[in-house]
Structure 1
Amino acid sequence: MKRAPRDEPPETPQSPDRTQTAHAASFRGDIQGLRAVAVLVVLLYHTELGPSGGFLGVDVFFVLSGFLITGLLIREHEKTGRISLPRFWARRARRLIPASALVLLVTCLAARWYLPASQWPSIGGDAIAAAGYFVNWRLAAESVDYLAEGSLASPLQHFWSLAIEEQFYVVWPLLISALLLARSRKVAVGGIAVVAAASLTLALTTYSPQTYFTTHTRIWELAAGALCAMAFARRPLPQDVSKSQAALNAGLGWAGLAAIGAALFVVRPTTMWPGPLTVLVVAGTMLILRYGEAAYGVRTVLARKPMTWIGDISYSLYLWHWPLVVIFKVDGELTVPEGLIVAGVSIVLAALTYYLVEQPARKARFWAPSSLGIAGGLTLALIAAGSGTALANSKSVEAPERPLGATAAVPEQETATALAPPPEEAKEDNGDIYKRDCVSSYESTALRPCEFDYSRGADAPVVYAVGDSKLGQWVPTLQELGRKYGWKLVSITKSGCPFSDLRRMRGNPATEYTSCTEWNQQLLQAVETARPDLVITSQFQFYQASKDGQELTDPEENRQEMIRGLAQRLELLKSLDIPAVTIYETPRMKEDIADCVSMHLDDLSACARPRDSGLKGLVVGEASEQTDTPVVDLTEKVCAADLCNPVIGDVLVYRDDHHLTATFARSLTPFFDEKLTQALDPDLVFKVLTRD
């Protein structure tokens, strides 16, 4: 699924009942209005109509949820002397599951009709995870999955924050109940403060693409709201105060709203999040929770009827808006008119869901307040999960019996009724090194060699294939050659990490990819120790480089640094008397080819791209020329004439926008064999490419 802010993920709030929005029994219009602000900035951000920091609306919701739920639990404990966990969980199920189950079902149906078949299995998996409230952990895993990069955003991605809140709702009543056993508010406040401090520390010190989605790096925001509830539950903001105190109270509330507003325009999608600026947003929300009721304060704006109405429908508005955004963006970025349409339709659907689903389900008498409510909620969740399973197992086309791939006499095809792999299986058609978990992850510095021993004697040729995923795409081809020539083939690869002296930058915000540097050092030692008969490498041509600790922003300067990094490695191998050969870069396409083919099975020409447009910024060829290293160039077989066709000989060429499918790579074996024989000197050909 891809899916990440890889780029910027959407967020889903939860909208507790109005009875939960008071210090005692009164309705807090300022809180409902703040919920409206949060939902609107996220809506405008995702429809590309609003400020760059609109995604921070979820942080406001986290604080509000912590405040409201903790206040609810405290009031129940004060009234009855205990907290009824079944009753609490049943109320949450009745309140949240009907609307979310409806959106899950409709989104799965819409995905089947409007989104590429290549995305169906991933969306189905997301639906199952969303129904089970663990989709945030699924997205956290995929946010660092190199194979998921470049994929369309999931229309169910926004359920990640709902999952965090549901996990909070399961655990938090247990924690509050345990803390209240001490019958000391100071103990309870201290316990919550410890949780908040530990979570905030993790968020600020263990930043990675995963931390955006993980519960333990987000719980501090909900705990911050809980601290407000514990501190203010018995001390509502006094209204009968001096003019100076009233002005101060109102000013503090406005300062909180100003802090959130400033962050909207300061924060960028590349800003570390959660991070230091998240603290500003959380603090601003806490100020409003305390001082929002002040006379002449923010309630004069937030508590107005239009704002409170948007606050009422905010949960459903979050649920509906993101699937619509994804569907409209399937053919490119949203235009302003399209963004306005998405926003308008989202509000209409949210209002209908609020009045026809949320409210009737919450008030229905046919399910009891405890066990029956939970059972009903789980039933709806299982229905949604079932729809996801059906989507995950659906097919668009069948696989041909004997796909020809690159060996086809006539490569051009206009339509596709049978493809290998089918588009929905393309993401998984990536070779044995991934199935055997031999690829080092982004964080790992350890080598994870994959050995394919086809040797037919003690003196069998030893061939090392090393580099990033662009080298990894050729391992299926090299396996076929290994079988033919009796190699002991060793593949050593790492996500996004070329065999190079390059200092690579990655992430949002960009930081030096230090694990790649360390991995390269270990790889050099392994190659020098093994002294293979041949080293084969290739790499992606568009990495972001740094030099002398500074990120290179000029494209040509960046390219030259990449050429230097690879050339240094090739020269080093030459100095060690270890033969090497490189593989020319495969053209990069404009879009995910599996997605495109899914949507144009009757007109494959819609997915063809000019060959030259995908061969810009080349690195391997120039580095090989500078170091007089043999290079294997199969561009003419990947892209016939001037066009790169998406399908050749009933085989899908690319599994995304720049990686070959393993099926197509295998079909290139005879041509690779020919080019390799031509590239190597005769002695090496005799040693490495001679059958027993």
Structure 2
Amino acid sequence: MTAPVGTPQQSAAQPVPSSPYRYDLDGLRGFSIMLVVVFHVFVGKVSGGVDVFLLLSGYFFMGTQLRYAMRPNPSLNPWWPFWRTARRLLPALAVVLAAIYAGIQYFTPQIMSHEIARQFKASVLYYQNYELSIQDAAYAAAGSQTSPLQHLWSMSVQGQFYLFAITAGILVAFLVSRVHVGVQRVRRWIVVILALITIASFAYASRFGFVGTAANYYSFPSRLWELSFGALLAMLPAKVAVPARFQAPAAGLGVTMIAATGFIIPTSLAFPGPAALIPLLGAALVVLSGPQHVVAKLLSSSTMTWLGKVAYSLYLWHWPLLILLTVYLGKDKPSVLLGFAVIAVSLALAHLTYTFVEDPLRQHAKRPKATDTPVRNALDSLSTFTGRAHAVGGAAIAVLLVGMLAILPIFNRQVAQASGELDPATYPGAMAQFGADVPRALAAPDPHFIADMWPPTVDRGCMIFMDQPGDLLPHEGCVFGDPEADVTVVLFGGSHAEPWVIPLDQIGRERGFKVVTYVRQECPLVLDDLDTVSEVCAEWSRNAFAEIIALQPDLAISNATRPAGRAGAGGVGPDIVPGAYSTVWDKLRLNGIPFVGLRDNPWVFSREGDHMDPNECLLAHNTMKDCSTLRSTVYAPKNPAEQYLFPANKQWTIDTANWFCDDTYCPPIIGNIYVYRDQNHISNAYAASTAPVMWNSLQPIFDALELPYRNDETLDDLRIMED
């Protein structure tokens, strides 16, 4: 997305020059950015334009580094190319990131999250591609659920390549100027090495075939071939070119291949594998066809080169504008009218950013040679108005970048502050369903941060995430409640079982039993009907179940119901008992382990049956009723687990439906507490508020099993009658 570092720009009226600089490739960059923006805004697919950008970055940037290295008396000081590159890239990035953060804070605060805060840091430090991969954020079309920083993965790939290119340039300069290896010999070796890197990286990127993975899409080793291919084109001898009479047709074919990519490649996961050859070979045809033909003249037109000039800023602006406006207007996807507005505003902002930020703050002087005195020249420039203005501008950019790095620690501190314990007199939560007084108070915790308040299993490293191996089981520290108690309760299941560790931890400390957790994301622990879970979940279930049997707990607890569908997903309809659940219960019974099945909490749906985050709904200024789900949408009239779990078998079910719903609605706020962390997980605060009613249901089971527990008159006063 970046223009060539330290290269001149063509004026609007300037004809195609005969100099080595390729203005037609500036136009190709403009054409590619146009494809990227149009496909992002109107099509929702990958266009191949980013791949062309990467090739051109390799062509211009690494080509520049290597040519400089082979000139007489090159400087071996790595500071200058890094400084020059930083002045080219960071000012516009800092301004756009600051604008994105301001836009989120003032217009779309509901989308701020720990993941977004981490992405700000990753974008500044140029590892956003890996951050998105860690967050399992597959490259998605524009929509209300898409990160406004998603597009910056490609900037991180380029930044990582720039480090590689600068290092390569310094090494070549050392070989030429200090070891005195001949320039032609070095050039030949450069071509060979770049060719080998390109082939190896392409093979690595293509290891999945024609459709890869999200991690492959973002990976620098997978993307390296696109950049090194551009650098290879820059280092080929001039005689390696399309014959003159075929140059215009070849370049025209190349532009057509680039334009057609987005229409013929159906998925972003096809990149950067074999499918990426279509736009990159097209770009190579344009490069090898030279600048002296009709297609080159069209690409060198004032409009196309202007687009190429502002391409970096245009790329930075268009995506966050598209996402933030989509969210602000309450749309799931951008409309056509919104798309045109985003393009117009993005073009204006790109021009302003280039004119007042990019161009003034970039390094216009030539890269210094070993005999130059750039530091003295820089200090001397401070005596001029222009020099002082540049220094002030640079300081302002530095402040913005530091501010962007501060977003993550500030956000984490805000989450920690919002996670404090709530006074049950003011925030009765679930107890309001059973007659507790509800005073007038602002609901808590702060809904802006509630999505990032994870149960203590996460903080202790006891939650096994879905990307972790199937043989990874909880460590010895995953014991809650009273660790010294003789009575052992096991809590097992997926992420819907996980929040129950909060009331069980409190009750265990008060009543004297320990709670051992076996919880894994999107994995309810199943031993058959494996089509509903992943293979690694099935493996983990077998391993976890074997440990539970060996542990021989006094009681096991898990969810007993869920919506129909695969683990991690749920649809509209009355809750059910999956057949795989009853298999686990039978095996627990055969192994003499008593079991309690908790009816699952509601999954929140709109009246149209779509998944709905109730907190985002409320933050968008909708009514409590609008943000509630209908009880009949998620619950059967009777707890379906009652048909499977019988006290005679030392198996019980606790119907939690009334903890969350009245006769008609399941509201997002109960007893001054936000009930949900997201669309289908309950909040820590609300889970904690269920402790009295949870013990009211568990105490008769403890009595039936003759399990000892501490009696406390103060605690007993908290008991409630569900009727």
Normalised by the size of structure 2, how large is the TM-score?
0.77
Q: Offset at 1:293?
A: 4.5
CA contact (8 A) 1:151 1:592 kept: no
Letter in 2 for 1:478: L
Higher relative contact order (CA 8 A, sep 6+): 1
Q: Give the 5 Å matches for 1:639-654.
A: 639-654=661-676
The residue type equivalent to 2:628 in the other structure is: A
* Correspondence for 2:690: 668
- Corresponding letter in the other structure for 2:463: V
The answer to whether residue 92 in structure 2 is matched with residue 65 in structure 1 is no
> Which range moved further: 79-88 or 485-494?
79-88
Identity %: 26
- What is the alpha-carbon distance in structure 1 between the residues aligned to residue 515 and residue 657 of structure 2? 24
CA distance in 2, matches of 1:277, 1:32: 24
Match of 2:547 in 1: 526
1:279 Cα deviation from its structure 2 partner: 4.3
| 2: CA distance, partners of 1:31 / 1:643 | 61
Name the residue aligned to 2:151.
Answer: 158
Choose the corresponding residue for 2:223, options 218, 222, 225: 218
Select which of 474, 479, 493 maps to 1:452.
479
Answer yes or no: is 1:658 the counterpart of 2:658: no
Shift of 1:69: 0.9
Counterpart of 1:191 in structure 2 is: 193
Q: Does residue 340 in structure 1 map to residue 340 in structure 2?
A: yes
Partner secondary structure for residue 579 of structure 2: helix
Q: Report what 1:386 is aligned to.
A: 403
1:595-610 pair list within 5 angstroms: 595-600=616-621, 604-605=624-625, 607-610=627-630
Residues 5 and 61 in structure 2, CA contact (< 8 A), matched pair in contact too: no
The 1:381/1:593 distance shift into structure 2, 3 A limit, reads farther
Residues in 1 aligned to 2:655 and 2:281: alpha-carbon distance in whole angstroms: 57
Residues paired across the two proteins, number? 646
Question: 1:3 matched to which residue of 2?
Answer: none
Counterpart of 2:613 in structure 1 is: 592
The question of whether the paired residues in 1 share the 8 Å contact of 2:313 and 2:350 is answered with: yes
Partner Cα distance (2:206, 2:187) in 1: 28
Q: Deviations over 1:5-60 (max 9, x none)?
A: xxxxxxxx22225837999944434422332333223322332x125333x43222
- How big is the shift at 1:77? 2.4
Q: CA deviation at 1:70?
A: 1.6
Question: d(CA) in 1 for partners of 2:508 and 2:91?
Answer: 56
Distance 1:236 1:624, change over 3 A: farther
Cα distance in 1 between the residues matched to 2:3 and 2:438: 50
**2:720 equivalent in structure 1:** none
Task: From 70, 73, 77, give the equivalent of 2:69.
Answer: 77
The whole-number CA distance in structure 2 between the counterparts of 1:316 and 1:194 is 33
Distance in 1, Cα, partners of 2:663 & 2:100: 41
Are 2:570 and 2:603, in contact at CA under 8 Å, matched by a contact in 1?
no
Q: Deviations over 1:311-340 (max 9, x none)?
A: 221111111112211221212222221222
TM superposition shift of 1:435: 0.4
> Residue 464 of structure 1 contacts residue 489 of structure 1 at CA under 8 Å; is this kept in 2?
yes
Residues 188/100 of structure 1: CA separation in 2 closer, same or farther (3 Å cut): same
1:427 paired residue number: 451
Match of residue 430, structure 2, among 389, 400, 406? 406
Which of 414, 437, 440 lines up with 2:461 in the alignment?
Answer: 437
Task: Identify which range, 177-186 or 493-502, moves more after superposition.
Answer: 177-186
1:231-630 matched pairs, under 5 angstroms? 231-232=236-237, 234-235=238-239, 237=241, 240=244, 243=245, 246=246, 249-269=247-267, 271-291=269-289, 293=291, 295=293, 298-299=295-296, 302-330=299-327, 331-333=330-332, 334-362=334-362, 380-386=397-403, 389=406, 393=410, 401-402=423-424, 403-408=427-432, 418-441=442-465, 442-445=467-470, 446-449=472-475, 451-452=478-479, 454-455=481-482, 460-501=486-527, 513-538=534-559, 541=563, 544=566, 563-589=578-604, 590-600=611-621, 604-605=624-625, 607-614=627-634, 625=643, 630=652
Question: Structure 2 unaligned runs (5+)?
Answer: 10-15, 176-180, 379-389, 605-610, 713-723
Give 1 or 2 for the bigger CA radius of gyration: 2
Query: Deviation string for 1:501-525 (max 9, x for gaps)?
Result: 467789xxxxx83322221221122
- Partner Cα distance (2:202, 2:531) in 1: 26
Q: Secondary structure at the match of 1:443?
A: coil
TM-score normalized by the length of structure 1: 0.80
RMSD over equivalenced CA pairs, Å: 4.2
Q: Kindly indicate whether the alpha-carbon contact (under 8 Å) linking 1:131 and 1:381 is maintained by their aligned counterparts in 2.
A: no
Q: Alignment partner of 1:185: what SS?
A: helix
Contact 2:63/2:235 (8 A) holds in 1: yes
SS, match of residue 515 in structure 2: strand
Letter in 2 for 1:434: V
CA separation of 1:27/1:184 partners in 2, compared to 1, >3 Å: closer, same or farther? closer
CA gap of 1:413–1:401, structure 2 versus 1, over 3 A, is closer
Q: In 2 relative to 1, CA 69–453 (structure 1 residues): closer, same or farther, beyond 3 Å?
A: closer
Q: CA contact under 8 A between 2:198 and 2:224: conserved in structure 1?
A: yes
Structure 1 residues 266 and 416 mapped into 2: Cα distance closer, same or farther (>3 Å)?
Answer: farther
Distance 1:95 1:414 in 2: 58
Is residue 533–residue 688 contact of structure 1 (8 Å, CA) maintained in 2? Answer: no
Q: 2:135 maps to what in 1? A: 142
Residue 492 of structure 2 contacts residue 556 of structure 2 at CA under 8 Å; is this kept in 1? Answer: yes
CA distance in 2, matches of 1:350, 1:630: 64
Shift of 1:285: 3.2
The one-character-per-residue Cα deviations of 1:101-143 (angstroms, maximum 9, x if unpaired) are 2112222222221012561665444334323333333333222
- Contact conserved, 2:39 with 2:262, CA < 8 A, in 1? no
Q: List runs of 5+ in structure 1 lacking aligned partners.
A: 1-12, 507-511, 547-552
How far apart in 2 are the matches of 1:312 and 1:654? 47
Q: Secondary structure at the match of 2:478?
A: strand
Residue type of the alignment partner of 1:220? W
1:262 CA drift (Å)? 4.0
1:227 maps onto 2:232 in alignment? yes
Distance 1:451 1:363, change over 3 A: closer
1:411 and 1:45 map into 2 onto residues whose CA distance is 55
Would the alpha carbon gap of residues 238 and 329 (structure 1) be closer, same or farther in structure 2, given more than 3 Å must change? closer
Compute the displacement of 1:529 (Å).
1.8
Q: Distance in 1 between matches of 2:580 and 2:403?
A: 50
Does the Cα contact within 8 Å between 2:480 and 2:505 map onto a contact in 1? Answer: no
Amino acid at match of 1:332: K
* 8 Å Cα contact 2:450/2:677 also seen in 1: yes
Q: Does 1:50 align with 2:72?
A: no
For 2:279 and 2:643, the matched residues in 1 are separated by 53
* 1:447, distance to aligned residue in structure 2 (A): 1.1
CA spacing shift, 1:36–1:606, aligned 2, 3 Å: farther
